[in-house]
Amino acid sequence: MIRLRTLLLCDKLYLILCAIAVVFSLLMLNYYPYHSKYNVTDKYVIGYIHSYKIDGNKLTIMLKGKESVIINYYFKNLAEKESFNFNLGDYLKVSGEMKNPKSATVLNLFDYKEYLYRNQIFFLLDAQSLELVGNNNRIRYTIKQFVINHINSLPKSSTYVKALVIGDDGEFNEVVNNSYQFNGVSHLFAISGSHIAFLAVIILWILKKLKFEENKRYYIVIVFLVFYMFLTDYTGSVVRAVFFFSLLSINKMYYFNIKTVNILQLTLFGSLIYKPALIYDVGFQFSYVISLYLILYQKMISSSRSYIKQTFLVSFIAFLASIPICANNFFQINLLSPFINVFFVPYVTFIMFPLSFICLILPFLDSVLFFFSNILETISIFLSTIKTGEIILAKPSFIIIVLYYIAITLCLRGMSKSSYKYFLLLSLLIIIHSNINYFNNNPYVVFLDVGQGDSTFINLPHNQGNILIDTGGKMDYVKESWEERKHKYIIGEDTIIPYLKSIGIKSLDSLILTHGDNDHSGDALYLVENFKVDNVILNIGEYNDLELELIKVLKEKNIPYYQNIETLNIGDDKLYFLNTKDYNDENENSSVIYTEIDNTKMLFMGDAGTEREKDILEKYNFTDIDILKVGHHGSNTSSSKYFINSINTKTCLISVGANNRYGHPKESVLEILDDCNTYRTDLNGSIEIKLENNDYEIKTINP
């Protein structure tokens, strides 16, 4: 026992264990691939419901059979949706079509397939039928279902109770959720160390009043928290917090006298051995790194007698520690977030969190919690309109992340000794990082995968020009209210803006909309409302309803817009708009754009058809085009054999959605393009063309 205690007091032991855990996780995830027990040809799976979610007409189930499978089912009518009465733990036979998850097709963005793989989920199943084959017989699922049903019965505040009690923060209003993320306070609604500590203290106090012995009190709390991990679906931050509390309790009960920072390192070891995928979990990264810095600089925090100052120091240290993680995942930080957290942290910790649990026992307090949540939302939305502190940071390399943590550690060490000189170093690093696009030496063009639509980004060296041609857009079909989903995929919000931020783009010099069809301009309105755009260029012809709505917003925001221009200067280069005449057709009126950058000739055809192609050839003398953005997604109304042969193009790009209902690209067009090196966004994902030394290199983000 003495030897064990001596060993446990050795600081190097914990560093070695941390290194072992990290290496083990990386090896397991990258060099020892997981294998599925199912096949893509399987027509059904049998298993029990681990979790489910209903959003509009869509039911999503995580079914645990031989392994976990994500089930997607669409209710056929309102009666079927209302009659859904399966419970957690129920056994189902689900018949349908197995599918492989789709990988990310846009650089730097969230990879759903990789995320599922790390959690050992290999298939999605598009369900055609759901058949109950057995009722739940697990007590833990019965309890969880009871808690969920009880929360759902709260008429006003169920969203916050779900977030703060069981860790389900997926039901926040989109505007509110975005404001929380921008203000840097969304972590308060993800159950983490402070929530676990609060729960533990309350339970320990109750048990003490009931005259339980100290050790028994801690064991009871540990058992409760292990079950609570199940209730919260084993999220990374909860796993870290429960492991940490359990080890702290054992350390206290048996007088091991292990340093708190070493217990945190032991927590990392246990968590990663238990679940290697946690090393990539953003919540776990936030929870562990922030906890580490708060423990290391606890003396500096506690040296202040002012609660407000202590709260600010905690928020400030947490903000500094999270900068590299925010940059790596969200591509921006908000310098005002430490100040905002001074209000939000105590508000959520001492009002929202306790009230959420109290509402489970006393549902009549639902209106009280709703009142306080409205105050919180109103303040958050208002603060999110203040863009002063927003800094866009491109996705950092590993070296930049290391440099950040060196600078952050030096800053906090100096700060603990009342020295602030190293903040100049951190500020310089942030300034360089936020302007990293100025260090780009080569122009490049990216054809973004936006499904059945077009969106092309042109970047010139040293930030001399950032041009977006089209935004893409999803068709919204009229649905009944019961079919409408809370969370809709918006190309501008979920693809274009995150991509631009991930490469360090702060603003667009020009947004060019080739024409007013939804698949080219559908997300322009969202883009100009949520990203800095210097001017907008529209095509010839009459404005449609979508363009008129956009122009109204442009006028309100004082963004200049132009129509029927001939040239656009971008840095030392030009874009030429090949206007021939005004047609009585939206597609034929597309802006067709020609440019030559670094001696590479490029032609962007919009949705122009064969008539327009003929007129272009008559008016302009084009030969040996290096890169052609094929017209109208490969429709047989465009890309005539005469046109393709005349321009003698080398590389053709088709922006098209997978399995689109139009059947694009047409086989007849592909035959015409047979002599070109043809790339398609449905097959190749986003396509990046780097221009260098009078040549170009093509890179694809394959789905």
Q: What is the pLDDT of residues 544-567, one digit of tens each?
A: 999 999 999 999 999 999 998 999
With residues binned 3-state (H G I as helix, E B as strand, rest as coil), the percentages for the chain, rounded to 5, are 50, 15, 35
Contacts of 194 (CB under 8 A, 6+ apart): 349
**Is the Cβ–Cβ distance between 588 and 682 less than 8 Å?**
no
Q: What mean pLDDT do residues 491-496 have?
A: 94
- Two structure tokens written together for 596: 């030559």
Contacts of 252 (CB under 8 A, 6+ apart): 218
Using one digit for the tens of pLDDT, what is the confidence trace for 495-552?
999 999 999 999 999 999 999 999 999 999 999 999 999 999 999 988 999 999 999 9
- Pairing of the two strands 124-134 and 332-334: unpaired
- Two structure tokens written together for 456: 């092309």
Band (285; pLDDT cuts 50, 70, 90): very high
Q: How far apart are CA 507 and CA 292, in angstroms?
A: 36
Hey, what amino acid is at 50?
H
For residue 464, the tally of other CB atoms under 10 A from its CB is 16
Q: Is the pLDDT of residue 304 over 90?
A: no
Q: Is the pLDDT of residue 1 over 70?
A: no
| Closest C-alpha among 55, 13, 34 to residue 170 | 55
CA distances from 506 to 363, 530, 533 (A): 46, 11, 9
Using one digit for the tens of pLDDT, what is the confidence trace for 362-374?
999 999 999 999 9
Q: How far apart are CA 376 and CA 386, in angstroms?
A: 16
- 554 or 304: whose pLDDT is higher? 554
Q: How far apart are CA 489 and CA 505, in angstroms?
A: 22
CATH number (3.30.479.30, 3.90.1150.10, 3.60.15.10, 3.40.50.2020) of 446-701 reads 3.60.15.10
Using one digit for the tens of pLDDT, what is the confidence trace for 582-634?
888 889 999 999 999 999 999 999 999 999 999 999 999 888 999 999 999 99
> Helical H runs in 509-658?
518-521, 524-530, 545-556, 610-619, 641-647
Q: What are residue 48's DSSP bridge partners?
A: 64, 91
Band (443; pLDDT cuts 50, 70, 90): very high
Q: What are residue 692's DSSP bridge partners?
A: 695
For residue 79, the tally of other CB atoms under 10 A from its CB is 9
- Looking at residue 2, its pLDDT comes to 66
Q: What residue ranges do the domains of the chain occupy?
A: 44-137, 446-701
Q: Is the pLDDT of residue 156 over 70?
A: yes
Lowest mean pLDDT among 10-24, 180-194, 590-604: 180-194
- Two structure tokens written together for 119: 């959690």
Q: How far apart are CA 397 and CA 677, in angstroms?
A: 32
pTM recorded for the entire structure:
0.94
Mean pLDDT of the residues in the chain = 93
- In CATH terms, the fold of domain 44-137 is OB fold (Dihydrolipoamide Acetyltransferase, E2P) (2.40.50)
Contacts of 322 (CB under 8 A, 6+ apart): 184, 286, 289, 290
- Two structure tokens written together for 510: 């020009």
- Pairing of the two strands 444-447 and 456-459: antiparallel
Q: Is the pLDDT of residue 344 over 80?
A: yes
CA distances from 322 to 137, 315, 330 (A): 42, 10, 11
Quick one: how many helices (H) and strands (E) in the chain?
A: 28, 24
| Closest C-alpha among 459, 531, 457, 465 to residue 492 | 531
